[in-house]
Amino acid sequence: MYPLKGNEKAVGLDFRTVPAQYKTVQMARETKQVVIAGPLELVQGGRGLIARYPIFTDLPYNNNYWGGLSVVINYDRLIETSGLHQLQGVEVAIVADTHDGMGERVIEGDASVLTQFDMSYPIYLPNDAWTLFARYQNLSDIESISRFRHVFVSLGIVTFVAGYILMMFFISNYLRAHNLSLHDELTQLPNRRYLFSELNLLMARKGAWVEFTVLNIDLNKFKEINDSLGHEAGDQVLKHMALSLQKCLRTTDFISRVGGDEFIIVLRRTSKKEDVELIIRKIHLFLESRPLHWNNDKIWLSLSIGFHIFKGKADPKLIQEILSIADKKMYEDKTLKHTEL
């Protein structure tokens, strides 16, 4: 809750206990779009417009609903700022669907204006629109009509801009935090959490036939690099490795850093052993023939790679087993390289 001051009564509010508000929360979730609710009476007092923004944890697919962001705009202050009620010689009415199940109705002004009006004007909101109606007491008063047109436009602009600025502020901060939660800070690659999200998507259609390969890649003697050249050199090695791996892969492949010097790659639609072995040889050749130049040193890389090809019916319960097999084979490859040395 921000700001907390003045909104204490709204802390801990369960929308399910307020049907009119819960309906718009559900609508935002189902449509996957911003929904404007209100004006309505707020539990913390006053009237407000509430922009409901649905949040999903699996962008850009938007299937896993996490919750919602609610941005409140002070409705009374909005109307006051527009100067709507300061006009002389005109009667007004604003009609809107407040999405509470009651359909369109007058939310501001005199309902009798709708029976005979001289002018109507749309007020655009994010994914919605109101209609403002006016009846002039003297149609020959051009100056009054001109002022009213100006207020029409002002109200629409103020409402639209206020809503979008507030939403974009919160949304951009949410997306930044969400992005950080799914990516490794050092290499900017997807992290372990993102990896599991990706594998769950591959396995989402339980019973459907899927084919893919998981590579588990570990950097040999990484501890020695850190100990002899320092952690800054170690960080540069990981960045170098991340960039190099990306150059070896197709745009359809998925690469993640899951911790330390361990990287996991998901090769989509790749299930032939000879194709997988060709990709692994390419990775070895590319990384192990291109040292990282660090100060006056050349840091040569050596990799251990294990893989597991999955061909079968999708089942999220198999994900951990697939990763474990690839991990086991990586250690077998590491042991073999150590023996050869």
Averages of pLDDT over each 10 residues, the chain, 341 residues: 58 73 87 83 81 78 81 80 72 80 82 86 74 74 54 56 52 55 87 91 88 96 91 94 93 93 94 95 94 90 96 94 97 83 52
The pLDDT value given to residue 280: 96
Residues ≥6 apart with Cβ < 8 Å to 208: 313, 314
| Rounded to 5°, angle at Cα 73 from 70 and 74 | 135
The residue extents of the domains of the chain are 8-74, 77-182, 192-340
DSSP 211-260: EEEEEEEEETTHHHHHHHH-HHHHHHHHHHHHHHHHHHS-TTSEEEEEET
Instruction: State how far the Cα of 72 lies from the Cα of 47, in Å rounded to an integer.
Output: 9
Residues ≥6 apart with Cβ < 8 Å to 123: 94, 129, 130, 131, 132, 152, 155, 156, 159, 160
The pLDDT value given to residue 257: 95
pTM beyond cutoff 0.75? no
Query: Could you give phi then psi for residue 181, rounded to 5 degrees?
Result: -75, -15
The pLDDT value given to residue 5: 64
The pLDDT value given to residue 285: 94
Q: What is the CATH number of domain 192-340?
A: 3.30.70.270
The pLDDT value given to residue 191: 92
Instruction: State how far the Cα of 227 lies from the Cα of 240, in Å rounded to an integer.
Output: 18
Closest CA to 316 of 64, 29, 56, 31: 64
Instruction: State how far the Cα of 248 lies from the Cα of 261, in Å rounded to an integer.
Output: 18
Residue 31: its H or E element: helix 19-31
The pLDDT value given to residue 236: 95
The pLDDT value given to residue 331: 95
The pLDDT value given to residue 90: 79
The pLDDT value given to residue 157: 52
Instruction: State how far the Cα of 329 lies from the Cα of 54, in Å rounded to an integer.
Output: 42
